[in-house]
Amino acid sequence: MSYISLSQKDKKEMLKVIGASSPQELFDSIPDDIKLKRKLKIPKAKTEPEIMEYFNQMAHKNKNNEYICFQGAGAYRHFIPAAVDYLSSRGEFVSPYTPYQAEVSQGTLQLIFEFQTLICQLTGMEISNASLYDGASGTAEAVLMASRINRKSKILVPKTLHPHYREVIKTYTKNLDMDIQEIKYDDSGQISMTELKKHLDKETSAVLCQSPNYFGVIENLDKISSLAHENKVLSIAVVTEASSLGLLKPPGEQGADIVTGEAQSFGIPLSFGGPYLGFMACQKEFLRQFPGRISGETKDVNGNQGFVLTLSTREQHIRRERATSNICTNQALCALRATIFLELLGKNGLRQWSWQNLQKANYAYDLLKGIKGVKSPFSGKVYNEFVIQTEKDWADIEKGLMKKKIIPGISLEKYYPELKKCGLVCVTEVSQKQDLDRFAEQFKEILSA
Amino acid sequence: MSYISLSQKDKKEMLKVIGASSPQELFDSIPDDIKLKRKLKIPKAKTEPEIMEYFNQMAHKNKNNEYICFQGAGAYRHFIPAAVDYLSSRGEFVSPYTPYQAEVSQGTLQLIFEFQTLICQLTGMEISNASLYDGASGTAEAVLMASRINRKSKILVPKTLHPHYREVIKTYTKNLDMDIQEIKYDDSGQISMTELKKHLDKETSAVLCQSPNYFGVIENLDKISSLAHENKVLSIAVVTEASSLGLLKPPGEQGADIVTGEAQSFGIPLSFGGPYLGFMACQKEFLRQFPGRISGETKDVNGNQGFVLTLSTREQHIRRERATSNICTNQALCALRATIFLELLGKNGLRQWSWQNLQKANYAYDLLKGIKGVKSPFSGKVYNEFVIQTEKDWADIEKGLMKKKIIPGISLEKYYPELKKCGLVCVTEVSQKQDLDRFAEQFKEILSA
Amino acid sequence: MIRERLIFEISDKGKKGFTFPELDVPEKKNLTDSIPVREDIKDFPQVSELEVVRHFTRLSQANYCIDKGIYPLGSCTMKYNPKINEKVAQIENFISAHPSLDPKFCQGNLEILSELEDMLIEITGMKAFTFQPAAGAQGELVGMMLIRACLEDRGDPRKFVLIPDSAHGTNPSSAHICGYKVKEIKSNKSGTVDLEDLRKNMNKDVAAVMITNPNTLGIFECQIKEAAEIVHSQGGLVYMDGANMNALMGICRPGDMGVDVIHLNLHKTFSTPHGGGGPGSGPVGVQKGLEPYLPIPRIKHKGSHFSLDENYPKTIGRIHGFYGHFLVVVKALAYILSLGPDGLKEASETAVLNSNYIRKSLEKEYHLKYKAPTLHECVFSDKYQKKHNISNIDIAKRLIDLKVHPPTMSFPLIVHGALMTEPTETESKADLDLFIDAMKQIDREAKENPDVLKSAPQESYVRRLDETKAAREPRLRWKP
Amino acid sequence: MIRERLIFEISDKGKKGFTFPELDVPEKKNLTDSIPVREDIKDFPQVSELEVVRHFTRLSQANYCIDKGIYPLGSCTMKYNPKINEKVAQIENFISAHPSLDPKFCQGNLEILSELEDMLIEITGMKAFTFQPAAGAQGELVGMMLIRACLEDRGDPRKFVLIPDSAHGTNPSSAHICGYKVKEIKSNKSGTVDLEDLRKNMNKDVAAVMITNPNTLGIFECQIKEAAEIVHSQGGLVYMDGANMNALMGICRPGDMGVDVIHLNLHKTFSTPHGGGGPGSGPVGVQKGLEPYLPIPRIKHKGSHFSLDENYPKTIGRIHGFYGHFLVVVKALAYILSLGPDGLKEASETAVLNSNYIRKSLEKEYHLKYKAPTLHECVFSDKYQKKHNISNIDIAKRLIDLKVHPPTMSFPLIVHGALMTEPTETESKADLDLFIDAMKQIDREAKENPDVLKSAPQESYVRRLDETKAAREPRLRWKP
Ligand SMILES: Cc1ncc(COP(=O)(O)O)c(C=O)c1O
Ligand SMILES: Cc1ncc(COP(=O)(O)O)c(C=O)c1O
């Protein structure tokens, strides 16, 4: 299939205008010795029916649809209203560029402005940007931002922060003379306050706190922020399960200076890990160090309200190497999905949603903990994810349950060798009671086998 | 789920304006004795996730996806380009009413105008309407139209016309003092010219001719029209497989006075039988008796081109019981799909499409005829459907093939008891050679079992 | 606004919007040797996929629609079409199901048809439904055929059908195709059927009365039971045009009012989209006595097994190529299941609330010929504005400039210069107010600045179009 | 045009756009007893589904987009986004796949990633690719990190990165985040890298040069091999910004020009939609020597079995939460498979043809600072119009009135008043002419009627917006 819109006649006429005899001639500026003298070795063109068939076959090689899956850990299965798919697939949203020409991009600019407002409302912060790539790189950006703000380089990263996020922070900061220190967790599954106090000092730029954390446990962000502030250290709150923002006290009311994270839960499908939706919000005083695009309200020559990309002096187009980030293309279409999702749910729907996640996960948690041989290594309160521990290796549990078409969660062994017999289970509103009951039953069976 | 957009506050304010104390009060004009005093006994409201689940379960009860299906007979499986689905699902096409207010309906009116043009080009006729319900009722409308034109009441309906169409003609004409006579077919599977000549006389209003006919055989429309015209009888061409219009000589060039039929093949999914797309075209002289809506070109006060529903004095809004048809709502969105489909395929794609249908079906026809014990009852040339006959009852063939996940076609027994051992097989461009080969192999196996 | 050209005008030789896979069976050129093959289609479009996408994207934006704003087109029940309904109607196993499938392969589809039948029976109080009719008008035709078949069975199909002067044009037209002569019944001063006139015209030659309830003025036919008795007492039957059922869900049931046959418009009351003129769906419901005449095939079930039954010797036959508009049925069922009993009632109550809010808000500015209470719609007229030489058409065209869709003007014929206004239940107060304010502004303009009305619309994709020219010099297709 | 209000302005207490099923497990109110729970979110929206649908339908129509018209935004490769690509990216088993699935459950996804890697390797002549980078800029960052890791491994990461003055702003910014200091290299008179300047600046402290090819003027860096030699001879590496790869597919390969590391923008060259600002995808390709440093996990296969491999001790680590933008990868693969080798080459040839047609058609009216032959884009300037006090911004805003999208103005910084124009291969001649005619008209207007330019746009959703006010008095969120 070719997507060219020229006829042979058009081509001829155009070549005539140009004064060339063939399109090939237009490449004369490329030295002959680097020209490719052969055809590209890729399969010959497929037509649309063949493309459809090819990808259906690929999809068929995946087996995920055959399983009930209790995996979370930074990527969450939630219901997506039909209106989200419909509206966000309109060509007028899908096919424009970044809204550089504001007058013909008011749709995108206004929706970003609404997105920013919603993020502020959810996080309890004063300003938000238009999005960042994902939660992991967003967190890395927050670390860089903190360090720009207070010109300090020690960052305290709890082990309860998503291991991938910790890795991305390491990758981002490796070449920047920064000192990343990891903070252990305690028996509650929360950041160990003793450890934190040990590491926190005046040299510290920021302390990170993911809540609910990687183990699903709700952290004491309030206390951590206070401790940070006492030492003139910035408090960075990280959210990987954005649905929790409908229920938990917003980071902004728990002392966070910067809030960042992943908003995939807001109407964005799992999609094997991407594209997702990084977000960041902060207090006004840090605006000048804030990374990413921002839509701002202004007026047109008639005095009518309108929106533009603003404060771009922070960005690389103008400030080049001194920009607050190198990010250019971000996740606009994902931000659109989140905006539609949140506006559909509305105040009550959002609350109901978070509430059901809390209730269902804790129902399953209780069921599983009630099984002989299962215990919970952590005493902290959980939102919609939790860790359970058995006498068997998690890999064996997994193998057994997979035979029953259940994927029980995620093994913790890789990043937490000390939790080898533990698994991280996520339960959202999409799970029905009968699924949870069956899960627990099968779990029991396997343990008693 | 409720789709109301009023808040409680709104409701209160509005009631105050009206001067009523409750919405219920507004129903006081309904006599109390016919008011329903109880709740409707239907299941309590489902939410969107529950609706999704309900229909997924229903779909799951269908087993069609597990089978390769060679059924045609008035409903054809063709490939539908992604752009058809995308464009035709845009709210601006889906959610307006019939374009009564032309100035805010130019999208719909122009696409209908293009649809009419395409139908004219395909059929070789001068005018087309905006659509009719489906091929069957379209054919009935054509019969009524013919009778209005020449004020005669005898209609010759060949047995090679789709049996459902024949039934619908009967239903429509039953109360109208018309004389419907059926014409037998001959060994070629075509209308028997001898029989036709026997029935055709000056009292005859019209003769119908479906080509390719119900047996997939291409009729001699040209000859039939000539014969009709010699007797001042109208020739009505019926098309159930519109893809054939890309290859076969258009009915307009074969003497048809009216062409009607089903355009489901143009980008409309099988959908268990509907909605489909009836169409009708005729020569200009018959315009005054032509049923259905028509979009026509005109100018606005600035002299710019525009489109309106026109010639509505033929229609029921104005002419009431003397209208050329009672049709009001028609199949606009299906006509849109057809228009997009045809414009995407274009001249070359259309030709290629018809050609592949012809080639693949005849390939399969030859394969099957080559099997010992299979013969073809008809000698006529076929387009993309054909009849084959074996020594076994078709029902047994069917049973055997279904075990192999093949639905071999349609049994002819019901409407043609004389063809009890025959099946009608349809092969379109979507079948791949390997499927056809497997079909033939399995067929052979069953016959030799 | 740049006018979008016709596709034929952007076509050029050799451009392609789609390609099929190569033919994978041996090609036989001689297959066409003895069949009539066409020449190249002159001027058939040749455009790229991008050109098609742009063409229809731009055309789509030249349409007003529910998804853009209030659409108070009377008698059309332009309510919101929920997106989930569209989504479920696209499930692969529905859209890829061939209609000739053996019932054992399409139990889900049959169950859906059966489920919706059960729900409509409960909502209307009728005894059985057919889904074959493709739209309201075909439903009317089927309904009249059922009545005729029944009367014929009783010995005499009779000659006449009585239809109120306020009826929609499809009613007389459908009766006519069914072989009946139409007699018009007058409306009384309150806008309802004049019982005296009905009594006068009802006799043994009259097959049925076709009544719309609430009628096209939005007024409930409060004497419908009496009317039905009059008709029944002479052996006639009562047909109800159910186009306005949106006023009555969960409130009262046609089956409890003496109605023998009814059609519904799924594309009105039950939220399936109108599609710019279809596809609709016009299921017909009947009382027990008429059930034997329903079109075949019908869906039957034994326990949870569903089958197609053609064994109805008295059937009027088949009216659609297959089973009607299955995908529309899917959407309507999704709607009813979404709303449930309370939601349906709330929908009707809110539709009536919204309509009465508009009526009350505009009753000073616009003439209301009939003062009786109205339900889901009301019919204003241009009588007051006519004094300033402003017609309902001018008002409609000016509404376009003010970004709301005009009301219906083509009927009821008993109100001259009608503005039949039906907001439906899904509109917000803000959108209702937008309409009300626009109407008030127009009333002021009629007095103060009539030119702006006469020259409306000014801000639309095209200006006012010449309908007379279109009819006088018909150009019904593009020609090079 | 009625401005669409903010959703917060149409919100009202109790309105609902979505409802969840009832909780089906026993509710435990005390679960929140000892966790910090939020108050009601003040002013969080409460609207109906219809209101949301209208809101976004109207907002969508306030956008210009590829699906509506020509979008010759330079450096952005705004080509048509085929609808089939969107469709395959919505296949249920792709979108519902959790990223932590065991590889045995997601073989299809892994194969897709692997397939596209193979294709990009062939198209670019590089040896391996990673798909973790979420967009071009993150690709640059990863690229620089790879270079740094490699040099570090050799003993010294070095201090500087050389970047031509014509480069995109992300280049210096990315180098900076990677811990490098940036030195600018001058362009020569023909608009390409000044080899003398490069030679002068290249030394053992320089880690790499970042070069865009064709560069942002649309000119092919014909001395790229020589440049690479200069860099390599001093132990440095060559990074190529592949944003302009749309000029080169099947024509020549960066891997054959001495390039060590490259990023591509799938959302430019490979037709995945830009989405109003993302998501993109910025895969990074490397030569053999740099492969050990690529981010983990990487996809490996043994025969037809695919797995995720983290066993790369020298890896720079992880740069994305999971594997990058999988769905974007799906679309890009669909595109490459659709076009095949001939189609890709035809795309590049036609992109260059279209661009040169525009260049030739406008070279009298608009100043071209660099006269060297250009490929897929060319950079005009407002120099001639400046005489009439008309700037590139005025030209851009006037183009909006004339229904085409303006070119890029923010760079390259070496052309003052730039109008960087890239039509792409998918435009029709009619649409190219629309742009050309509009540009010619504007040139005339600059002389004859400059006011119409200064006051443009006049026919847009909003008139010219005050960017200074936006920055001076930042209002970055709605407040009641
Ligand atoms: C009162 C009434 N009856 C019947 C109809 C005909 O319905 P349909 O358009 O679905 O054929 C309409 C449609 O406008 C109507 O308003
Ligand atoms: C030349 C060039 N390099 C890099 C980029 C950055 O790519 P992205 O926006 O995908 O981050 C762009 C994007 O505009 C570009 O034009």
What is the tens place of the pLDDT at every residue in A78-131? 999 999 999 999 999 999 999 999 999 999 999 999 999 999 999 999 999 999
User: C311 C-alpha vs ligand 2 centroid, how far in Å?
Assistant: 69
Rounded Cα distance between D133 and D145, Å, is 12
For a pocket test of ligand 1, which of C131, C239, C265, C319 has the largest count of ligand atoms closer than 8 A to its C-beta?
C265
- Please tell me the predicted confidence (pLDDT) of residue D1: 56
Q: Return the C-alpha torsion angle A144, A148, A154, A155, nearest 10.
A: -40
- Cα–Cα–Cα angle for C205, C206, C210, rounded to 5 degrees: 170
Under 8 Å between Cβ of D19 and B48: yes
Q: How confident is the model at residue C87 (pLDDT cuts 50, 70, 90)?
A: very high
Residues in chain B with pLDDT values less than 70: none
Which is it for the CA torsion B259, B265, B267, B269, positive or negative? positive
DSSP-derived 3-state class of residue B191? strand
Half-sphere exposure of B210 (CA within 13 A, CB side): 31
Quick check: pTM over 0.95?
Answer: yes
Summary mean pLDDT of chain C: 97
Binding site membership of B2 for ligand 1 (Cβ less than 6 Å): no
pLDDT at C2 over 80: no
| DSSP class per residue in D110-134 | HHHHHHHHHHHHHHHT-SEEE---S
- Please tell me the predicted confidence (pLDDT) of residue A317: 73
| DSSP class per residue in A22-79 | -GGGGGTTS-GGGB--S---SPPPPPHHHHHHHHHHHHHHB-GGGSEE---SS-----
Count CB atoms within 10 A of the CB of residue D114: 16
Rounded Cα distance between B316 and C145, Å, is 18
β-bridge mates for residue B415, sequence order: none
Q: Which of D51, D61, D82 sits opposite C428 (nearest CB)?
A: D51
In tens, the pLDDT along C89-123 reads: 999 999 999 999 999 999 999 999 999 999 999 99
> Is the predicted ipTM greater than 0.90, yes or no?
yes
Residues in chain D with pLDDT values less than 70: 1
Rounded Cα distance between D122 and B276, Å, is 46
Classify strands C378-381 and C418-421 as parallel, antiparallel or unpaired.
antiparallel
Percent of chain A with pLDDT over 70: 100
Q: C-alpha distances in angstroms, C426 versus C222, C235, C419, C421?
A: 26, 41, 20, 14
Q: Which of A8, A48, A85 sits opposite C18 (nearest CB)?
A: A48
DSSP code at position C477 = S
- Please tell me the predicted confidence (pLDDT) of residue C122: 98
* Closest to D322 measured CA to CA, from D306, D336, D308: D308
Rounded Cα distance between D64 and D73, Å, is 12
β-bridge mates for residue D181, sequence order: D160
Mean pLDDT in residue range C261-268? 98
Rounded Cα distance between C9 and C475, Å, is 16
φ, ψ at B409 (rounded to 5°)? 145, -150
pLDDT at C313 over 70: yes
β-bridge mates for residue A127, sequence order: A282
Which is it for the CA torsion A285, A286, A289, A292, positive or negative? negative
Rounded Cα distance between C456 and C68, Å, is 20
Rounded Cα distance between B425 and B408, Å, is 6
DSSP-derived 3-state class of residue B185? strand
* Closest to D392 measured CA to CA, from D429, D428, D432, D419: D419
Summary mean pLDDT of chain A: 96
In tens, the pLDDT along C135-189 reads: 999 999 999 999 999 999 999 999 999 999 999 999 999 999 999 999 999 999 9
Please, is C65 exposed, middle or buried when counting C-beta atoms within 10 Å of its C-beta (0-12, 13-18, 19+)?
A: buried
Under 8 Å between Cβ of A142 and A280: yes
Q: What residue in B sits closest to D22 (Cα-Cα)?
A: B47
Q: C-alpha distances in angstroms, A277 versus A74, A128, B44, D7?
A: 11, 13, 36, 21
- Please tell me the predicted confidence (pLDDT) of residue B314: 76
Which tokens in the block code for residue D333? 């693969």
Show which residues on chain C lie within 8 Å of chain A, measured between beta carbons. Answer: 12-16, 18-21, 46-51, 53, 57, 82-84, 86-87
Please, is C128 exposed, middle or buried when counting C-beta atoms within 10 Å of its C-beta (0-12, 13-18, 19+)?
A: middle
In tens, the pLDDT along B108-165 reads: 999 999 999 999 999 999 999 999 999 999 999 999 999 999 999 999 999 999 999 9
Classify strands A154-158 and A179-183 as parallel, antiparallel or unpaired.
parallel
Please, is B381 exposed, middle or buried when counting C-beta atoms within 10 Å of its C-beta (0-12, 13-18, 19+)?
A: buried
DSSP-derived 3-state class of residue A176? coil
Binding site membership of C280 for ligand 1 (Cβ less than 6 Å): yes
Rounded Cα distance between C388 and C382, Å, is 10
| DSSP class per residue in A310-334 | --GGGSHHHHGGGSS----S--HHH
- Please tell me the predicted confidence (pLDDT) of residue B320: 76
Under 8 Å between Cβ of C246 and C348: yes
β-bridge mates for residue B154, sequence order: B179, B204
* Closest to A125 measured CA to CA, from A202, A239, A241: A239
- Please tell me the predicted confidence (pLDDT) of residue B321: 78
Please, is D269 exposed, middle or buried when counting C-beta atoms within 10 Å of its C-beta (0-12, 13-18, 19+)?
A: buried
Classify strands D378-381 and D367-368 as parallel, antiparallel or unpaired.
antiparallel
In tens, the pLDDT along A214-258 reads: 999 999 999 999 999 999 999 999 999 999 999 999 999 999 999
Binding site membership of D170 for ligand 2 (Cβ less than 6 Å): yes
Binding site membership of C75 for ligand 1 (Cβ less than 6 Å): yes
User: C270 C-alpha vs ligand 1 centroid, how far in Å?
Assistant: 14
pLDDT at C1 over 70: no
Name subunits touching A (3+ CB pairs < 8 A): B, C, D
Residue B100 CA, chain-centre distance (Å), reads 25
Mean pLDDT in residue range A363-379? 96
Q: C-alpha distances in angstroms, D91 versus A80, C242, C255, D330?
A: 15, 40, 46, 10
Region of residue D277 (phi > 0: left; psi between -120 and 50: alpha; otherwise: beta): left
Q: What residue in C sits closest to A45 (Cα-Cα)?
A: C21
- Please tell me the predicted confidence (pLDDT) of residue D466: 96
- Please tell me the predicted confidence (pLDDT) of residue B313: 81
Residue B317 CA, chain-centre distance (Å), reads 25
Name subunits touching B (3+ CB pairs < 8 A): A, C, D
Which of B1, B4, B7 is the mutation pick for testing D, counting most D CBs within 10 A?
B7
User: In three state form, how does the secondary structure of B234-248 look?
Assistant: EEEEEECCHHHHHCE
Under 8 Å between Cβ of D345 and D249: yes
Strands (E), A254-378: 258-262, 278-282, 295-299, 305-309
Q: C-alpha distances in angstroms, A137 versus A163, C264, D117?
A: 13, 56, 23
Q: What residue in C sits closest to A46 (Cα-Cα)?
A: C21
- All residues at 6 or more sequence positions from B109 whose CB lies less than 8 Å from its CB, including other chains: B99, B102, B295, B306, B307, B308, B309
B90–A49 C-beta distance less than 8 A: no
In the block, tokens 């309802």 appear at: C192
Binding site membership of C241 for ligand 1 (Cβ less than 6 Å): yes
Count CB atoms within 10 A of the CB of residue C95: 19
- All residues at 6 or more sequence positions from D278 whose CB lies less than 8 Å from its CB, including other chains: A98, A131, A275, A329, A330, A331, A332, A333, A334, D134, D135, D267
β-bridge mates for residue A403, sequence order: none
Task: Name the residue type at position C341.
Answer: P
Which is it for the CA torsion A287, A292, A297, A301, positive or negative? positive
* Closest to A55 measured CA to CA, from D471, C272, D327, B200: D327
Q: Which ligand is nearest to the CA of D212?
A: 2
